[in-house]
């Protein structure tokens, strides 16, 4: 076996190795290395179909690698800072909502989350307003039976980015880092919602006590 054949076998080995990768970033890197080896081999043996095939694949693999690396970096930045899903824009579709329109109700099947781009939305069960830059609906992905844990009503006409759970799951399984940061985002949102529920419950208790202890309640000190 001469050195030209060795390059060809190297390209074959790298191609097989890329097929065995379970995550996208290593797969794209190995695929690019395999393509470079195969292109070199094709040039050395004068096989233009082999060279052409790999030259077509290289830009696709390079773009997908760049896209996934960018996604992970933006997810990390979002998890360490504000709870924003703006970086998921390429994976979703935009939808407009009118004032008073119900986006979804508690108990409804859940198959998408929303990133609010404009307008004001209300979660009536906890009295929580979601404004521009907020996310809502992501907890349905983690709830038993994938059902809505609360309702969402549009209070001021606006627009939201809709991202299906199938897209989120695909990204989750393709890259473990993305999965970690997405879980961190949902956990912070869950704690925030729980805190809002406690504040509302405390407010209702205070109002009830005030009504019972006042003149109208009949109670006296």
* pLDDT value at residue 75: 62
pLDDT at 200: 47
Helical residues (DSSP H) of the chain, grouped into ranges: 3-19, 24-45, 48-80, 165-174, 176-213
8/121: higher pLDDT? 121
CA–CA separation, 177 and 86 (whole Å): 18
Low-confidence winner among 45-49, 98-102, 166-170 (lowest mean pLDDT): 166-170
- The pLDDT of residue 118: 93
Higher pLDDT, 86 or 111: 111
Position 221 scores a pLDDT of 34
DSSP string spanning 117-172? -SSEEEETTTTEEE-TT-EESGGGGTSGGGB-SS-EEEEE-EEEEEEEHHHHHHHH
pLDDT for 17-26, tens place per residue? Answer: 888 777 778 8
Among 97-101, 116-120, 172-176, which is the least confidently predicted range?
Answer: 172-176
| Location of structure tokens 């992905």 | 141
Q: 145, 154, 144: which is closest to 136 by C-alpha? A: 154
pLDDT at 74 over 50: yes
Q: How many CB atoms lie within 10 A of CB 11?
A: 22
pLDDT given for residue 181 in this prediction:
67
Helix (H, G, I), strand (E, B) or coil at 190: helix
Q: What is the rounded distance in angstroms from the CA atom of residue 132 to the CA atom of residue 84?
A: 10
């Amino acid at each position: 076996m001469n050195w030209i054949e060795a390059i060809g076998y190297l390209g074959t080995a790298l191609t097989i190795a890329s097929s065995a990768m379970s995550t996208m970033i290593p797969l794209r890197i190995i695929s690019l290395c395999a393509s470079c080896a195969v292109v070199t081999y094709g040039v050395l043996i004068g096989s233009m179909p082999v060279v052409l095939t790999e030259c077509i694949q290289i830009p696709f693999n390079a773009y997908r690698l760049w896209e996934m690396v960018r996604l992970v970096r933006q997810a990390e930045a979002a998890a360490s800072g504000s709870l924003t899903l703006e970086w998921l824009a390429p994976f979703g579709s935009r939808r407009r909502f009118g004032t008073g329109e119900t986006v979804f109700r508690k108990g409804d099947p859940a198959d998408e989350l929303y990133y609010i781009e404009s307008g004001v939305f209300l979660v009536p069960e906890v009295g929580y307003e979601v404004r521009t830059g907020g996310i809502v609906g992501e907890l349905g992905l983690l709830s038993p039976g994938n059902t809505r844990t609360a309702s969402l009503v549009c209070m001021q006409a606006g627009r939201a980015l809709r991202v299906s759970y199938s897209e989120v799951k695909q990204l989750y399984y393709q890259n473990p880092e993305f999965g970690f940061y997405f879980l961190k985002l949902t956990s912070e949102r869950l704690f925030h919602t729980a805190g809002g529920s406690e504040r509302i419950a405390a407010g209702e208790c205070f109002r009830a006590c005030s009504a019972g202890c006042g003149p109208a309640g009949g109670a006296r000190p």
